[in-house]
Amino acid sequence: MPRILMSGASGGIGTRLRKLLPPIYPDLLLSDIRPPADLGANEQFKAADLSDLAQVEAICEGVDGILHFGGYSVEGPWDDILQANIIGGYNLFEAAYRKGVKRVVFASSNHAVGFYPRHHKIGTDVTPRPDGRYGVSKVFGEALGALYADKHGLKVTCLRIGNFGDVPLDLRRISIWLKPEDLVQLCQIGLEHPDIHFEVFYGASLNERAWWDNHRAYEFGYRPTGRSEDHVAHAMAEQAKLKPDPVGDHYQGGAFCSNEFDGDTSRIIDWNKR
């Protein structure tokens, strides 16, 4: 059985995957800067600070594949993102290369392309349009993945994750929802598919209102089971509680776009006239 390392084990996604992955990958090593509060006696855990290359090398020892969900997971101060996502992302790929890891699944984000308008359907090969410092760090991580795949032969899959959870939480998330079990399926493709070299997939379930063309994932056998239209009533009830956000409601990145925004709003008006 392959030995799989999952970073970010104490985070929201990592906490859920800790329950879903062991039946598929029994030899699962968990890591984060500190242990999960509810770490079980049967779970393997090694702490590591992603900004310390030696610590990252230590958790990569003897590992066949990595699910990299670690790092700073929201918009925040540059130095925090720099240490965890930029330096930490480099350390993860470099340590994987040095230790002979065969595959890496990198948790990218929809915020790498958040400044595309919602009415503009995009594929995975578009020019990055990050909606904040966090989004910039995910673009950097994708670029690292491409470098290590092309230069060193590491098999890399980048997942531009949308809204991970049991149900979509509002109107925006109807278009980008990702059921946890569907994320597991995408991870399996990245860890196991024989034809993976370097790929970018959108981390999204079967969303009929999707803004993303995810055909590459389907070509690799992805068959999501979650359908966002089944949860529209709940999402719209939650949407009714939110205040209008002229910038965030226009762009795919939502509030990440309107946060600190002082740009040209005429571009939004012009787009809406088309």
What span, in angstroms and rounded, lies between the C-alpha atoms of 45 and 97?
21
Max CA pair span of the chain: 59
* Closest to 207 in 3D by CA, of 238, 181, 235, 173: 173
Q: Would you call 134 a catalytic residue per the annotation?
A: yes
241: left (phi over 0), alpha (psi -120 to 50) or beta: alpha
Q: Which member of 134, 148, 222, 251 is catalytic?
A: 134
Judge whether 72 and 80 are in contact, CB under 8 Å. yes
- Known catalytic residues? 134
